[in-house]
Amino acid sequence: DIQMTQSPSTLSASVGDRVTITCRASQSLSSWLAWYQQKPRKAPKLLIYKASSLESGVPSRFSGSGSGTEFTLTISSLQPDDSATYYCQQYSTYWTFGQGTKVEIK
């Protein structure tokens, strides 16, 4: 089974800050990785697929990078609406989520 590890588990940043979340896989995924945003009591929302492709309608301040076993999600200028938990997901072999990163606004 492929294990996904995100870091940090929580982060606190100010509006306008550049924020980076890391996701590591236990084996190579090529680029078969997605990122989701989930707000409290809401369903997850797909942000990024194939490691770096932005889903339609997602603000351009979100970007993804990486391949193989190490990936990052970057928010270039943090906005109040970005307060949420972010999950990575591999879909190379079945489907596995990371444990999540909670982003808080200072």
Partner 1 sequence: EVQLVESGGGLVQPGGSLRLSCAASGFTFSNYWMSWVRQAPGKGLEWVANIKQDGSEKYYVDSVKGRFTISRDNAKNSLYLQMNSLRAEDTAIYYCARVWGGYSSGWYPFDYWGQGTLVTVSS
Bridge partner residues of 102 (DSSP):
10, 85
Q: Which residues bind partner 1 (CB under 8 A)?
A: 1, 32, 34, 36, 38, 42-46, 49, 55, 87, 89, 91-92, 94-100
- Distance, in Å, from the CA atom of 9 to the CA atom of 58, rounded to the nearest integer, reads 23
- Nearest approach, Cβ of 58 to partner 1 (angstroms)? 11
Q: Which helix (H) or strand (E) holds 59?
A: none
- Nearest approach, Cβ of 47 to partner 1 (angstroms)? 10
Owner of token pair 């996904």:
4
Three-state DSSP at 82 gives helix
Q: Which is nearer to partner 1, 69 or 91 (CB)?
A: 91
Q: Which is nearer to partner 1, 24 or 45 (CB)?
A: 45
Residue type, 11: L
Q: Which is nearer to partner 1, 19 or 32 (CB)?
A: 32
